[in-house]
Each structure stands twice: as structure tokens, then as C-alpha cells.
Structure 1
Amino acid sequence: MHPTLTSWLMLAGAIAAEVTATSSLKLAAGFSRPLPSMVVVLGYIVSFWLLGRVVQRLELGLVYAVWCGVGMAVVAMVGVFAYGESLTWLKCAGIVFITAGVVMLSFAKSSA
């Protein structure tokens, strides 16, 4: 497998682990429920481990922007669909701006 593809797949795994951990925080109920609490802790451990490996291969700014941006957008959608949170036009605009920022950083990297 191509090293860059492997790095992007590892970043996707880091994002998935972070989204799982963050989404499980609500279920952990202040860390009073053992199983969801373990999912939170293990999710963050896996996410940061993968993230630490990815930043050795890809630009730090780009990696962090993608990790944060995609993570925030997906967690916002988990909140809406899994927890019944509101989806306002302002929340949608924020997700669009986050996505635009990640895309801009990606293009800035490739044009430099």
C-alpha cells in the first residue's frame, strides 16, 4: 500500500476513534457508567496513538485541521441523529465553514 494512502487511512482511523470516544462521553454519564467510560478512554488512546503516527508522515497543520474539522462535523451530526440535538442554520453554517477551512488548508499544502 502507498505510504500516503496508509497515512490518510490511519488519520481516518484516528478520527473514527475520536468521534466514538467523544460521542460516548454522553453515555458515560460523568464516568459513572463503566462500559461507556472505557470506550471513551480507549477511543482517545487509539486516536492519539494514530494521530502521533500520522504527523510523522504528513504536515502537522493539515493533519490537525482534518482531524479537528472532520471530527467536529461528524460529532455535531451524531448529536443531531443519535441524541436528538437541534440542527440550526447556524450549526450548518459552522460545519460548512469548518469544511471550507480544511479544504483550503489542503489546497495550500499542495500549492506550496
Structure 2
Amino acid sequence: MLSILADVIATAALKSSEGFTRLVPTLIVLLGYGLGFYFLSLSLKVIPVGTAYAVASGLGTALIVLLGVLFMKEPLSAAKLGAILLIVAGVVALNALDGHSSKS
């Protein structure tokens, strides 16, 4: 979860960095992505890489879309909402399958 949070913060700051021309948002981006990769690497000690990356990227994508809608005035269509729900469903399915296959 820390990896996802760090990546989401970094991605949100990416727009504010204006192409890495603003110092503070640029530093937030670099620190956020660095921490995101660090925490992801820690999770790989106990979670398979495919599952960890799918969870991090899927939930991170869903959170970024939510932030975009809430704070950056990006539109939320029914199709976009459906796509996000499919991403979340895929993450849940991967976790369920991963837990099932490790018991075999």
C-alpha cells in the first residue's frame, strides 16, 4: 500500500511539475517514484512479482483516475467508470488466484 500511495502522489505531482520545470513538484515526483519502487521491492519478498505489480499498477491507476476527477476536473464517463471497475475486478481476481495456487 505504501508503494501505491507513493506512486499516486508522484503521478499527481507530475502534472504540476510542468515538464520538470518547477523544482518542488519535480522533487516530489522523483522522491515519490523512488519510494514507490523501494516499497514495491520490499513487497516482492512475500508477494509474487506479477501479482504485486498488477495490484500496484491497477489500484494506482484507479486512484489516479479518482484524483483526476475530484481535483483536476477530468470528466468521468460511464465507460471510464466501467473500465476502472474492470481493473479493480482484475486485481481482486489475481489476488484470489494467487492465494488459491499457493495452496496447491
1:59 aligns with 48
SS at 2:45's partner residue? coil
- The match for 1:16 is 5
Q: 1:25 maps to what in 2?
A: 14
The CA distance in 1 between the partners of 2:99 and 2:39, in whole Å, is: 23
Identity in percent: 36
What 5-or-longer segments of structure 2 have no aligned partner?
A: none
Residue correspondences, number:
101
- Name the residue aligned to 2:65: 76
**Equivalent residue for 1:104?**
93
Moved over 4 A (4+): none
Cα distance in 2 for partners of 1:55, 1:74 equals 22
- Unmatched runs of 5 consecutive residues or more in structure 1: 1-11
Match of 2:80 in 1: 91
Superposition deviation, residue 90 in structure 1:
1.1
TM-score normalised by L of structure 1? 0.88
**Alpha-carbon RMSD:** 0.7
